[in-house]
Amino acid sequence: MKSNKNKSAAMLKFDNEQVSVHSVVTKYQGFFKMNEYSLQHKLFSGEQSQVFTREIFERGDAVVVMPYDVKRDKLLLIEQFRPGAIRGEDSPWLLEFIAGMFDENETPIEVAIREAKEETDLTLSSENLVPIMEYLSSPGGMSERIHLYLAHFDCDQVSDGAIYGLPEENEDILLHLVSRNRAMELLSQGKITNAATIIGLQWLALNYQAFSVQDASTK
């Protein structure tokens, strides 16, 4: 799968060379970090902006893994509690794909393999993983970059309804094996509200036939 990163960059007028960061001050440091940036950048008019400040939530980068059994046309979803969702009226237990943050010096592939094992007991390798895209979650106020992968797997590797997760991280994860059509129904019904899962499913809706053709050609 070819990346569109270079094509996108060719359409943009400016790059990092047109930004000057004058200072970075840490305003909060806990599990996550909040930095205040003082910066300026070139304007489309050709002039320079005034120096201004922005508070940026530095939560680190993350990897999302979408397990897909091509032969059976099934997906593995996980259900878990998300404290960031308690403000809404819907349930704070969300349907998602496997996801996790980077440990020190890890590559995206290493994160994908580790998180799949921790959250679902699914054993993956680099050969199972197909890079889909990288994207910024909310760049107006957060620096997080998501690395999204499709993972080829066999449904027999996992048990529908099994419970996993690391107790030391207060994880309580329920596995759901669903057909691709059922996942798309849940998406269209607004039952899936996690951004990375929505993006992954929409990508699969556009590309699943290519994987079906590849699978048929190997038989």
Tens digit of pLDDT for each residue in 127-184?
A: 999 999 999 999 999 999 999 999 999 999 999 999 999 888 899 999 999 999 999 9
0.75 cut: is pTM over it?
Answer: yes
What integer pLDDT is reported at residue 89 of this predicted model? Answer: 85
CA separation for the pair 151, 120 (Å, rounded): 13
- Which homologous superfamily is 62-217 in? Nucleoside Triphosphate Pyrophosphohydrolase (3.90.79.10)
Walk along the chain (219 residues) in steps of 10 and give the mean pLDDT of each run: 55 93 96 96 96 96 97 97 91 97 95 97 96 96 97 95 92 97 97 97 94 58
Catalytic site residue 169? Answer: yes
pLDDT for res 9:
63
Write down the domain spans for the chain: 16-58, 62-217
Token pair in block for residue 39: 């910066």
pLDDT for 148: 98
Q: Which of 110, 169, 171, 185 is catalytic?
A: 169
Sheet of 19-29: strand order equals 19-29, 33-41, 52-58
Phi–psi pair at 206, nearest 5 degrees: -85, -20
